[in-house]
Structure 1
């Protein structure tokens, strides 16, 4: 419990990579003075002219909104960069009606096949595409499966229809 204030202080005074600034400086428009600097005299704390400091703080507070907007723009750019990286790794997969697919055995949880059991079961036929990667399936006997299946739990089956 004694360490919590120090952890919070460190969090508020660390530069965030997403916006290039500290939460403390975006709130108060000034650099934070660490507790160690308050206890011992340093150039930063010893040579402070309070009248000039208050005037500078007033000017900084006037410019605070502009700095916050710049930080928001940098953060949006950072998020767009992360999104672009993530989306470059995603494989777009879709199935048409009548396609044969295998379904993931872990997702179906019909039976525990153990470590050496099959990972995929099927083939199943896609009977309906519901949008956003959801599909209705039917087995080889023509029996409709009771729920929808997400594309992440399906993979294309490359055998000919019988």
Structure 2
């Protein structure tokens, strides 16, 4: 029951429910209620659409709702990207800069103790390798084997 409720709930990010995106229409009432609606239509001689016309209209609405959801999703992605880039600072390092290196292997819970340092170093930037990749040397001038991406580095101020 909870899964059904989640699937028919309208999501803020896409503006529709997942059910509506998959099936092209809103979740309908149980069949007992639908029979009452059809009975009302027939009793009052209301005009019903031809089944083919109804299906064509439904498909057109489905395409519109998918395109609308796609536009909303792209807009949300652009907003998220803007907010991320607004906070993110560009880290450019020069040769001979002192940097600290993020120990990504130990960052997961249980792989380090409470007071273990997750930033290793200081290291010296030996050379630039590509757009945002650097070779490092330790303070004894021993070169590290592999280059390090700039996102794992930060400036060290002694």
TM-score (norm. length: structure 1): 0.68
Q: Which residue of 2 aligns with 1:26?
A: 21
Q: Which residue of 2 aligns with 1:97?
A: 95
* 8 Å contact kept, 1:29–1:57: no
> Take 2:118 and 2:11, find their aligned partners in 1: how far apart are those partners?
42
Secondary structure, aligned partner of 1:63: helix
Q: Which one of the candidate residues 1, 4, 11 is aligned to 1:16?
A: 11
> Take 2:131 and 2:154, find their aligned partners in 1: how far apart are those partners?
16
Secondary structure, aligned partner of 1:93: coil
Q: 1:147 to 1:66 in 2, by over 3 A?
A: same
Q: 1:131 to 1:30 in 2, by over 3 A?
A: same
Shift of residue 152 of structure 1?
3.5
Structure 1: runs of 5+ lacking an equivalent: none
Aligned length: 146
Q: 1:146 to 1:98 in 2, by over 3 A?
A: same
TM-score (norm. length: structure 2): 0.70
* 8 Å contact kept, 2:125–2:137: yes
Q: Deviations over 1:81-124 (max 9, x none)?
A: 122222222222120112122334x4487xx9954455544332
